[in-house]
Amino acid sequence: MNTSQPIHSDKDGLMDEQQLAAFVPQMPEYIDGATDFAVLSVPGHDSRGVWRMRFAPALVVMRIHKNVALAITAGLALDVPFSMETSHYVNHLNASQLTVGRMFVKEFEGTGRGAVVMQEMIFCQDMVGNPSLSTLLRMTGKLGALAGRLAPGVCERLGGHIPPDDADLLILTLE
C-alpha cells in the first residue's frame, strides 16, 4: 500500500467510511505484534465494519461508528468482580500505566461481575495521506501492545480471564 498518496475521494478531500473500511484490513501489516486478524460478521447490527486481532494475549475489536470514527476496544479481563476494589485498581492503572486510550469496567447487569476493557476512539474523517494514517496505526499499535502487556496482571489481580474469542468481546463493543 502506498500511504504517501492521499486517501480521499469526496469533494472536501476527507476520508469516508468506505475508505476507512478498505484501510483497516491492511493495518496488521504495519503494526508489530498484531496477529490473528479477521473480519467479523455481526448479524442484526449496522455493518460499517467490525474486525478483530490479537495482541497476545489480549483480544482487540475494531468497529467503525458513524462520523467515520474507529472504536478500538481491547479486552483485558472478563468475569471480574464489579466492585469498588476493581474500580480503584482500574483507576490506578489509568493514572499510572496508560499512554493511550482509557480503561474502564463494564458491568454485566445484575450479576455483580463485569469486564475490564481499554478503548480508544479515533475520528478519521479529517485523515488524508501518510501522516494521518501513521497516527492511526501508531495509536492502534500502542493500545494493543499495552493491553497485551497489562491483561495477564489484571486477570491475576482481579480473578478474571482473558477473552478467548470474538463473541465475548464483541458483545461489549456493540452495547
Mean pLDDT for all residues in the chain: 82
Residue 162, judged by CB atoms within 10 A of its CB (0-12, 13-18, 19+), counts as: buried
165: in domain: yes
Q: Are 31 and 140 in contact (CB under 8 A)?
A: yes
Closest by CA to 76, choosing from 104, 42, 107, 110, is: 104
In a domain, 81, yes or no: yes
Whether residue 7 is contained in a domain is answered as no
Domain around 89: 17-174
In a domain, 12, yes or no: no
- 68, three cell numbers: 467515520
Please give the tally of structural domains in the chain: 1
The residue that leads in pLDDT, 107 or 7, is: 107
Is 138 a member of any domain?
yes
Query: Rounded to whole angstroms, how far apart are CA atoms 1 and 23?
Result: 9
Over the stretch 40-85, which tens digit does the pLDDT of each residue have? Answer: 876 655 667 788 899 989 999 898 887 778 889 999 999 999 999 9
pLDDT at 2 over 80: no
How far apart, in whole angstroms, are the C-alpha atoms of residue 102 and residue 100? Answer: 7
CA distances from 133 to 22, 63, 136, 161 (A): 13, 16, 5, 33
Is residue 3 scored above 50 in pLDDT? no
Checking if the pLDDT of 150 tops 70, the result is yes
Establish if 32 belongs to a structural domain.
yes
The CATH number assigned to the domain holding 143 equals: 3.30.1460.10
Q: What pTM was estimated for this model as a whole? A: 0.84
Where would I find the H helices in the chain? 17-23, 84-96, 129-158, 166-174
The answer as to whether 2 is a domain residue is: no
Q: With beta carbons less than 8 A apart as the criterion, state whether 114 and 105 touch.
A: yes
Least confident piece of the model among 6-15, 17-26, 41-50, 146-155? 6-15
Residue 129 forms part of a structural domain: yes
pLDDT tens across 82-124, in order?
A: 999 999 999 999 999 998 999 999 988 888 999 999 999 888 7
Residue 103's pLDDT is what?
Answer: 95
